[in-house]
Structure 1
Amino acid sequence: MTAALPSQALAGPALIPVDIGHDVYAAVTDPRTAFWALVDKSRLAESLSDGPLLDAYRGQAEAFGRELHALRFELKPSGVYLNPTERCNLDCTYCYLPGSQRKTGQHMPVETLVASLGRLRDYFRSVMPEGRKPRAIFHGAEPLMNQAAVFAAISEFADDFAFGVQTNGTLLDDAAVEFLTSRNVSIGLSLDGPVAGITDATRRTWGGKSVHEKVLAAMAKLKGYGSWSVITTCTTENLPYLTSMVELFHANEVPTCMLNTLRCTLPGARGVKPADGEMAKAFFAALDRSHELYRETGRKLVVANFANILIGILAPTARRLMCDISPCGGGRAFFALAADGSLYPCSEFIGLPRFNGGSLLVDGGVEAALESEAFKTVTGRDVDKFSPCGDCAIRHFCGSPCPAEAHEMNGGMDKIGAFCDFYKEQVNYSLRLIADGKADDYLWDGWDEGTETVFNLAL
């Protein structure tokens, strides 16, 4: 798609005040460029008028606008989510994939997966810098239910992709761990409670059996490995226990975790959706506890989904995830391959037929999918153009995720996502950490390598 570059010449830079809940500082921002600054509350009016801050920003506004425009509209895909099977051995309450697919769906044959990765390798070589590997993440349903195909593909294309596997952990036996870790494949697990009773409330087998102990066993196998993480999906069932989850992960030396909001694409998730205020209270308590543990032990547990919000403020183009920007990364920074060979903007859309962009091997490949109406419906979602996002001061630190849930839950791509107020509070919390000089404690060591400070004004 194309989009006009915001013209600073027409209206000139203007700053909007934001109360971040800090004792000393407020924020000012120009949402058109994602520019922000922290100012002493006693000098807020002065900062909004002509003076050193506005003068300094005026000289940089056009460059910031170009940078944000490039991030939002000029990316080429550099990753793919691979769904080698429709099946899953679990029946999680909030899954975004239809139950009929997960229970009786198809596996992708080995030869089809290998042929697909060959086609994908050729595409990525045509759009990515030489020597840089695209990311290829085997994703849910449960990819290890088709383990033979997954492992054959990893072996065949080890030199062409940086592979990852997102698994529920129940099929991660010693042999699988040895295969994946010996090839430096990143591994993501899922665990929703500190004890079985909490996990089992939303994550269990089709027969109702617990998987909690199996995931703990998988975590024990991965301890000491550098490239693994655990996702907790935050629901009404586990919200009071997020601090305990952080303590469990830290004790088990988990390098990175995610405390993810639900994606409310399908009705099942909406029944266990926390209220925004309750989500914020529990989430920030867990972040505070992660910081306490870091101060006590010197070992970080990075909460990646929050770290991405924080980096998106500090250095927008350095963010690692592309959910918190509009348009999101679906169909722009990455796309998804379904088990039937079809391409979707993101795995979140698999199960929603209208977002099928065609077959990778039959219908013109990636290039045709990117130009399809199915993909453009997603890549055309622009928070500048609909209310209330278009008037929001922090819209480019949030991105109003997720387009799939906005469309299915709230009725269209021009609607907000499921956790509007929670995202606002995440931004305020982030700005408070920056004001207090604590931001680096919540981020990966070396996160800013290769970044450049382009605006730093002390008043």
Structure 2
Amino acid sequence: MTGPRPVRQFVLKVHGRCNLACDYCYVYEMGDGSWRAKPRAMAPGTADAAVDRVAEHAAAHGLDAVQVVLHGGEPLLAGVAALRRVLTRARDRVPARVDFAVQTNGLLLDTAFLDLFAEFGVRVGVSLDGTAAGHDRHRRTHSGHGTHAAVTERLTALTGPYRHVFGGLLCVIDPTADPLATHTALTGSAPPVLDYLLPHGTWDTPPPGRAPDPTRTPYGDWLVTIFEHWYTAAPGPTSVRLFDALLDLLLGGESTVEGLGTDPSPQVVVDTDGGIARSDILAATVPTAAATGLSVHRDPFDAALAPAPPVCPTCAACPLLRVCGGGQPAHRHRAGSGLDNPSVYCPDLTRLITHASTRLAADLEHLR
């Protein structure tokens, strides 16, 4: 077994608070309450130390390229000046190509931010949950108001004069929403990439609609409906990352999606206090699950390298393991057994993977 790979993706939580109260948020609405004890925003000295650790790691491993992701909370709450400082330092100090990205809810995405992102080539990902009704059901302000109208208004510039920095859209799946209406709404702006994200849940706190009955596959059915539409449609400008990764794995390739495939995610997270965490989705299980006890103020990223958590015996014996990888580690959690379980989404993943595999095999046989 090979050891941990060097990190290539560095997620900097430049701001630790959010101007939305999304009901499915794993940071503010699930098990992780650690954000309350951390600074609201990353201090300049902490941001500088984080970037310097990225530079150190890239040099130590001879990396030719890394990705720096500005994240939160809502990263735009940090302001233009703070983000410019991070981007400038990374561009000037990291001895490798730096691909910048930001993931935002879009509410603050004005011309000042777009000019900054265009200057540094920052790819802008926006969270949008499909139709107005679907989006506003979950993505609301702290006062309870829907945000679809405001976000789509902000998207106008990103899909127009700033399209060259448009990174794509991220949609959290709601199995009660019409899948094709959701997909049509999201592809209307021709995003270069579309990400469908399973809402985070565990065996103790299952995601909405995910009943213990293994014969029910609401998320798998939802995704299969869109997969069929996507698979049979003429090629368009939008890549669906989940489906692309799924087909790549079925054809023997590797995944670029966390939660699919057996390769560990080459990612670390730096919190507003400088603490180094592994994929912080684990904090949806227990608040300390992602913590390493390390800090950019004293520790190199090498100290945070670790192999992916092993899958349970049930998954190890499953013929779909190479494709599903056991699912997102956080989704395996159950009190008393930790991560030593199949994913709470196992029936849904099986439904989607089996359908895609059957579809692909039939087409390959037809070509032969």
TM-score, structure 2 as length reference = 0.85
Q: 1:125 aligns with which of 59, 62, 68?
A: 59
**Residue 110 of structure 2: aligned partner:** 173
C-alpha deviation, 1:200, in angstroms? 1.9
C-alpha deviation, 1:243, in angstroms? 1.0
Q: Which has the larger Rg?
A: 1
C-alpha deviation, 1:434, in angstroms? 2.2
Letter in 2 for 1:127: H
**Residue 88 of structure 2: aligned partner:** 155
Could you say what secondary structure the match of 1:353 adopts?
Answer: coil
**Residue 202 of structure 1: aligned partner:** 138
Change (3 A) 1:102 1:266: farther
Structure with the larger RCO, 1 or 2 (CA within 8 Å, 6+ apart): 2
Contact kept, 8 Å, 1:310 with 1:427, in 2: the verdict is no
Could you say what secondary structure the match of 1:82 adopts?
Answer: strand
1:140 aligns with 2:68: no
Deviations 1:117-175 (A, max 9, x none): 1122111221133xx12111112321111133223201222253211001111111122
1:245 aligns with 2:182: yes
C-alpha deviation, 1:189, in angstroms? 0.9
Deviations 1:323-364 (A, max 9, x none): 2133631xxx11111111111111213572243212333442
Contact kept, 8 Å, 2:57 with 2:301, in 1: the verdict is yes
- C-alpha separation between the residues in 2 aligned to 1:436 and 1:153? 49
1:367 aligns with 2:302: yes
TM-score, structure 1 as length reference = 0.69
Contact kept, 8 Å, 2:223 with 2:352, in 1: the verdict is no
1:381 aligns with 2:309: yes
Contact kept, 8 Å, 1:230 with 1:254, in 2: the verdict is yes
* TM alignment of 1:79-90, pairs within 5 A: 79-90=9-20
Contact kept, 8 Å, 2:331 with 2:345, in 1: the verdict is no
- C-alpha separation between the residues in 2 aligned to 1:74 and 1:104? 30
Deviations 1:423-449 (A, max 9, x none): 1222222223322448xxxxxxxxxxx
C-alpha deviation, 1:250, in angstroms? 2.2
Q: Pairwise CA RMSD of aligned residues?
A: 2.8
- C-alpha separation between the residues in 2 aligned to 1:141 and 1:409? 27
Letter in 2 for 1:415: N
Change (3 A) 1:199 1:410: farther
C-alpha deviation, 1:409, in angstroms? 6.7
1:234 aligns with 2:173: yes
Q: 1:309 aligns with which of 246, 250, 256?
A: 246
**Residue 152 of structure 2: aligned partner:** 216
Deviations 1:163-197 (A, max 9, x none): 100111111112211211232211111111311x3
Could you say what secondary structure the match of 1:393 adopts?
Answer: coil
Contact kept, 8 Å, 2:76 with 2:108, in 1: the verdict is yes
Could you say what secondary structure the match of 1:170 adopts?
Answer: coil
Contact kept, 8 Å, 1:264 with 1:409, in 2: the verdict is no
**Residue 261 of structure 1: aligned partner:** 198
- C-alpha separation between the residues in 2 aligned to 1:271 and 1:354? 19
Please state which structure has a larger fraction of its residues in helix: 1
The percentage of counterpart residues that share the same residue type is: 20
**Residue 405 of structure 1: aligned partner:** 331
**Residue 421 of structure 1: aligned partner:** 347
Contact kept, 8 Å, 1:410 with 1:416, in 2: the verdict is no
C-alpha deviation, 1:408, in angstroms? 5.4
Letter in 1 for 2:170: I
1:344 aligns with 2:277: yes
1:325 aligns with 2:255: no
Change (3 A) 1:88 1:104: farther
Contact kept, 8 Å, 1:89 with 1:206, in 2: the verdict is yes
1:393 aligns with 2:323: no
C-alpha deviation, 1:253, in angstroms? 1.3
Q: List structure 1 segments (4+ residues) > 3 angstroms apart after TM superposition.
A: 98-105, 273-276, 408-411
**Residue 283 of structure 1: aligned partner:** 223
C-alpha deviation, 1:227, in angstroms? 4.3
Change (3 A) 1:290 1:214: farther
Could you say what secondary structure the match of 1:352 adopts?
Answer: coil
Deviations 1:245-280 (A, max 9, x none): 21122221112111211121597x735244551212
Contact kept, 8 Å, 1:342 with 1:358, in 2: the verdict is yes
**Residue 123 of structure 2: aligned partner:** 186
- C-alpha separation between the residues in 2 aligned to 1:163 and 1:120? 13
Contact kept, 8 Å, 2:193 with 2:239, in 1: the verdict is yes
Could you say what secondary structure the match of 2:274 adopts?
Answer: coil
- C-alpha separation between the residues in 2 aligned to 1:299 and 1:410? 47
**Which has the larger displacement, 346-355 or 306-315?**
346-355
Contact kept, 8 Å, 1:406 with 1:416, in 2: the verdict is yes
Unaligned ranges ≥5, structure 2: none
Letter in 2 for 1:282: W
Letter in 1 for 2:248: I
Deviations 1:91-135 (A, max 9, x none): 111111135566785211123202211122111221133xx1211
Deviations 1:49-99 (A, max 9, x none): xxxxxxxxxxxxxxxxxxxxx5xx452221111111220111111111135
Unaligned ranges ≥5, structure 1: 4-69, 371-375, 439-457
